[in-house]
Amino acid sequence: MILPIYVYGSGVLRKQAAEVSLDYPDLQQLIVDMWETMHHADGVGLAAPQLGKSMRLFVVDGAAISDDRPELKDFKRVMINPKILEASKQHCSYSEGCLSLPDIHVDIERPEWIEVEYTNEHLEKKSERFAGFACRMIQHEYDHLQGILFTDKAPAIRKKMLQSKLQSIAKGKGKAAYKTVVL
C-alpha cells in the first residue's frame, strides 16, 4: 500500500527512532509498503519516520539511478536497527535531496565509507562496509533514524537561504508528485 510521506515540519522527523522489536506485528507488510511508497515517489531510500513511524528501519534501492551509477544496479537493502560501527575520516561532498523535503537539494559532506551492523528483512544479523553512493544513501536514511535531516548538515549560509522554502513545506505548501502530510 502506498502511504503518505511525512514532510518537513512533522515532529516524527525530529525524534530519535526506537529500536524495532523483531516480532513487531506486520513488520514484513510494513517493509512491502515502504518499498511500494518509495518507488511510487521515485525515491532511492525511505526511513520509517518518513511514514510517521518512529522505528529504526529503512530501505534503500539504487536500481533507479543505476544508468548513471552502474555499481548500484543490484544494490538493495532493508536495514532494521542499523548501527554505524566505523566511518572513514575522509569525507566527500555530493548534492542530496529527500522525499521529506521536496524540491530541495544541498551539497552535503559525509564520510567516504562506513561499516554498518543491521538486521535484514529475513531477520538475519549482517555487518557490511559500504562506500561510494551506496554509503551516502545509507547515511542519509540512518540520519532519519537519529532525527536529523540532511539540511541540518548544510553550511550555515545555505541553511539561511533555505528557510523560506522549508517554512513553505512545513505549512503544507510544498509541491511533490506524491502524497505528503505534515503532522
> Residue 64: helix, strand or coil by DSSP?
helix
Told to judge if 141 belongs to the known catalytic residues of this protein, a careful annotator would answer yes
Determine how many CB atoms are found less than 10 A away from the CB of residue 88.
15
Q: Which of 71, 115, 128, 141 is catalytic?
A: 141
> Residue 33: helix, strand or coil by DSSP?
helix
What secondary structure does DSSP assign to 86-143, as a single string? EE-S-EEEEEEEETTEEEEEEEEEEESEEEEEEE-TTS-EEEEEEEHHHHHHHHHHHH
CA dist 177 and 159 (Å) reads: 24
* Residue linked to cell 510494513: 30
C-alpha cell at 166: 522549508
Measure CA 58 to chain center.
7
CA dist 155 and 174 (Å) reads: 22
* Residue linked to cell 518537513: 8
Task: Give the residue numbers annotated as catalytic, written as ranges.
Answer: 141
